[in-house]
Amino acid sequence: MRKAFDARARIEPRTDLLWEPPTIVEAPGAFAMPVGPVFSDFAESAHFLLETVGEDVITSIPRFFYKYRGVEKIAEGQAAGEALLLAERFSGSSAFAHGLAFCQAVEAIAGVEAPPRARRLRVLLAELERLRHHAAAIGGICQSTALAVAASQAALIEEDLLRLAGAAVGHRYLFGALAPGGLARDLSDDACRRLVDAARDILARLAELERMLEYTSSFLDRLEEVGIVTRRDALAYGLVGPIARASGVSRDLRKIAPYAAYEAFDFEVPTEREGDGYARLRVLFREAAQSV
């Protein structure tokens, strides 16, 4: 990351470094249990070292950056349009959001503003990505609680949203839709209407999934009063997004510092107070409805 470093220079790996897991707990019978590295598909891979004396996890030491690629260094010296390709590929789960942030930074530096239609279409695609992201997150929660049928239903919803994105802009993860100054392509009014109609149909399926989960006791047992993040801790650690809002932190940049054309749209910012797994799930469902 240092400016003086040449990104084209070859790095010789060091073989004299040993990595031993750090341990903190010294209680009798304590042991460390590694989980991972979990090599996920488009999300960041992670390794967690859990320290426990049986049932309770006393400490969790995360280790990330298994997929670190030095994208920032690679982008140095490239044209804005080429660097946008890299910005979109930071994370497949939020490719459009990263690309939009990059485009807005370029536009701010250049002193230009995207046309009103492009700004509104940016909101349309950003909310389509948010809807797909939340469907995937809901599916992950169902998978982690061993609800195979519910996880499959959420996966089908996510797949339909990916196909909608592909039909709209030519790529399932919205790669190539953006350009500094606007969008790489326009969407017709009819295409926008079809997109919204399809999203409404998908929302009805999400709502039905939520109703089924609400009456699945084995599912609720794994979420209620589990993984509680208090409002104080959420503020202390600077949490954002649905995780913070599930702990009563009602912050949303789309409201307090609108970008693109969000100032032209009226929507609620869902919040919950409990800060547990179930509160986070409810926020995801309610935000999905707001996106539609």
For the stretch 253-289, pLDDT in tens is 999 999 999 999 999 999 999 999 999 999 999 999 9
pLDDT of res. 26: 83
Confidence of residue 77 (pLDDT cuts 50, 70, 90): confident
Cα end-to-end span (Å), the chain: 40
Strand (E) or helix (H) holding 183: strand 182-183
pLDDT of res. 281: 96
Say how far apart CA 234 and CA 240 lie, in whole Å.
Answer: 8
pLDDT of res. 150: 93
Calculate the CA dihedral of residues 156, 126, 272, 256 and round it to 10 degrees: 180
pLDDT of res. 41: 63
The pair phi, psi for residue 274, each rounded to 5°, is: -65, -35
Q: Is 29 helix (H, G, I), strand (E, B) or coil?
A: coil
Q: Is beta strand 46-52 parallel, antiparallel or unpaired with respect to 31-38?
A: antiparallel
Distances in whole angstroms, Cα of residue 273 to Cα of each of 24, 138, 151, 234: 32, 19, 26, 11
Confidence of residue 40 (pLDDT cuts 50, 70, 90): low
Residues 6+ away with beta carbon under 8 Å from 283: 242, 245, 246, 270, 271, 272
Residues 6+ away with beta carbon under 8 Å from 225: 274, 276
Structure tokens at 258: 């609108």
Window from 42-51, 102-111, 165-174 with minimum mean pLDDT: 42-51
Whether a cis peptide bond, with omega within 30° of 0, leads into 37 is yes
Distances in whole angstroms, Cα of residue 101 to Cα of each of 89, 130, 199, 289: 13, 15, 24, 24
pLDDT at 162 over 90: yes
pLDDT at 22 over 80: no
Residue spans of the domains in the chain: they are 1-6+19-68, 115-291
Computed over every residue of the chain, the mean pLDDT equals 91
Q: Which residue has the tokens 């459009």?
A: 96
pLDDT at 43 over 70: no
Contact 52, 30 (CB under 8 A): yes
In this predicted model, what pLDDT tens digit does every residue of 178-217 receive, in sequence order?
999 999 999 999 999 999 999 999 999 999 999 999 989 9
Say how far apart CA 105 and CA 193 lie, in whole Å.
Answer: 30
Residues 6+ away with beta carbon under 8 Å from 25: 51, 52, 53, 58, 59
Which CATH number applies to 115-291?
Answer: 1.10.645.10
**Amino acid occupying residue 150:** A
Sign of CA dihedral 43, 208, 210, 285: positive
pLDDT of res. 42: 60
**Amino acid occupying residue 16:** D
pTM: 0.86
pLDDT of res. 110: 95
Structure tokens at 272: 């919950």
In this predicted model, what pLDDT tens digit does every residue of 45-65 receive, in sequence order?
888 889 988 878 888 888 887
Dump strand ranges (E) for 195-273: none
In this predicted model, what pLDDT tens digit does every residue of 125-138 receive, in sequence order?
999 999 999 999 99
Q: Is 66 helix (H, G, I), strand (E, B) or coil?
A: coil
pLDDT of res. 14: 81
Q: From the CB of residue 182, how many other CB atoms can be counted at a distance below 10 Å?
A: 19
**Amino acid occupying residue 23:** T
